[in-house]
Amino acid sequence: MPRIPLGSTIEAIIDFLVTHFSFLTIAFTRIMENVIRYLENGLLFLPPWLFIVIVAGITFWLTRKWGIALFTLLGLLLIWNMGLWVATISTITLVLIATLTALSIGVPIGILAALNNGVNRVVQPILDVMQTMPAFVYLIPAIPFFGLGKVAAIFATVIFSMPPAIRLTCLGIQQVPRELVECADAFGSNKWQKLFKLQLPLATPTIMAGVNQTVMLGLSMVVIAAMIGARGLGGEVWRAIQRLQMGSGFEAGIGIVIVAIILDRVLQHVGTKKR
């Protein structure tokens, strides 16, 4: 039975894109490297103790819960005490840029899919493939396009973490009660007024759940992305695996867990406040 040349076809497509569009990826890589460097330097400009106090204060202001603010304070102090502060800032930078990029792409696609059945029928199978594809596979196209480093890691993280933003944005808009939409139509609202004054406000809690999941998936990609030079806390874990330094690996893992819990609790509370 003749073998279908699926793998060679995909490889040929990637080679074609790399050969003919490398000038775009090179320009994008240089711009993104500057953005990453400026953001990291900006976050590292503040003394760690002052940064921790500011973050704990922002956490309390957003959640109005002393427990979450105290956990943020003690958790970040522990990370600083373990000597992982620079790695943590690098990880936060990567997750922040990847999340904002994923949301800036995913939310508009989710809105379009919710408002257009044809787009929805095309998008949903693609999301099924994206969510079931092993995370390591996303590293394959990232390397030839962007090389080793943080830009390739951000690219892979964006692709991996985008599906929840699209799905939950689409779901939130579709769950807006039909009676309210018909009422808006009866009062003469156009589609943009319905979207921005009715559908998006009511869908905000569901969209925030998608934001939460996007951030969590971005953090789960940290260790995998370290394999292509992402560094940060994932890089510390990867280095510990290579050197069989179990203690250092667990310390970096605890740092990732602390950052994940802080972001999860804050985003959950912000999403709940929108209900």
What is the CATH classification number for the domain harbouring 242?
1.10.3720.10
242 lies in a domain? yes
Segment 110-166, tens digit of pLDDT: 999 998 889 899 999 999 888 888 877 888 878 888 878 888 888 888 888 899 999
For residue 54, being part of any structural domain is answered with no
In a domain, residue 65? The reply is: no
126, part of any domain = yes
175 φ, ψ (degrees, to nearest 5): -85, -5
Would 10 be classed as within a structural domain? yes
Q: Is 87 domain-assigned?
A: yes
Whether 60 maps to a domain, the answer reads no
Residue 55 domain-assigned? Answer: no
Give the pLDDT score at 73: 94
pTM of the predicted structure, to 2 decimals: 0.86
- The pLDDT of residue 48 is 92
User: How does residue 221 score in pLDDT terms, banded at 50, 70 and 90?
Assistant: confident
For residue 99, pLDDT over 60 is answered with yes
**Residue 275 pLDDT more than 80?**
no
Among 35-44, 186-195, 215-224, the range of highest mean pLDDT: 35-44
Q: How far is the C-alpha of 66 from the C-alpha of 58, rounded, in Å? A: 11
Q: What is the mean pLDDT of residues 97-103?
A: 91
Please tell me the total count of domains within the chain: 1
- What pLDDT score does 69 carry? 92
Please give the pLDDT value at position 274: 53
What is the average pLDDT across 175-195? Answer: 84
Q: What is the pLDDT of residue 241?
A: 82
pLDDT of residue 272: 67
Half-sphere exposure of 132 (CA within 13 A, CB side): 6
Residues in CB range of 115: below 8 A, 6 or more apart: 173, 191, 195
Q: What span, in angstroms and rounded, lies between the C-alpha atoms of 110 and 148?
A: 31
Domain region containing 259: 6-45+82-273
Name the least confident of 43-57, 60-74, 138-152: 138-152
* pLDDT computed for residue 12 by the predictor: 82
User: What pLDDT, on a 0 to 100 scale, did the predictor assign at position 46?
Assistant: 87
**Average pLDDT estimate for 163-189:** 87
Distance CA 210, CA 199 (A): 16
Percentage of the chain exceeding pLDDT 70: 98
Write down the pLDDT at residue 214. 92
Locate 113 and state its tokens: 């899919």
Q: How confident is the model at residue 219 (pLDDT cuts 50, 70, 90)?
A: confident
pLDDT at 192: 84
Cβ atoms of 263 and 83 closer than 8 Å? no
